[in-house]
Amino acid sequence: MTEQRTGLATFDALPDEAAYQAVLGCCSSPGFARLLVAGRPYPSVEALLDAADATLTGLPDSELELALAGHPRIGERPRSATSAREQAGVAGAGDAVRAALDEGNRAYEARFGHIYLVCASGKSAEELLALLTARLRNDPETERRVMRTELMKINRIRLRALLAERS
């Protein structure tokens, strides 16, 4: 945790544009990044993470769409090393599971109008498919809340990693 506190001090001291770009690498919503940077300095790592949650909760749908746009579909070729690490459990999946994920992704997008977003870290392809299948049964309002919660989890993981990199 000392490493993250050191990283927090470094993050708080960054010029605004550098901090903005760093946060944008964690969450591709410009509004999220601007608001999180504007809240500096943070008294603790937890305060930063809590601010990130509160900021995400208050984002309008247009900014949420931009946040989702920064994530590849589960099972798709990751766009970054971060996404590749997060979706490592899918890397060794068989063709049948990959095909089911692809089909499930398409059904999810048709039902809810956005990509299936889940905090994939530490989950196997089969677990991600089971979660997808279960979430397809949600009503749109429930699924919107679940998706925001998953995005919060991802943002927390990525922000912690950002702070660790800066220490």
How many Å apart are CA 162 and CA 26, to the nearest integer? Answer: 8
Looking at residue 41, the DSSP 8-state letter turns out to be S
CA-only gyration radius of the chain, Å: 16
**Whether the Cβ atoms of residue 89 and residue 130 lie closer than 8 Å to each other:** no
- What lies within 8 Å, CB to CB, of 106 at 6+ separation is none
Q: Which domains does the chain have, with CATH numbers?
A: 1-70+143-167 (1.10.3330.10), 73-136 (1.10.3330.10)
Torsion of CA 39, 67, 156, 141, to 10 degrees: 110
Dump pLDDT digits (tens) for 122-147.
999 999 999 999 999 999 999 999 99
Q: Is the dihedral of CA 65, 108, 161, 54 positive or negative?
A: positive
Q: What is the pTM of this model?
A: 0.92
At residue 80, the pLDDT reads 79
Tokens of 159: 């922000």
At residue 167, the pLDDT reads 65
Tokens of 167: 């220490």
Section 82-102 average pLDDT: 88
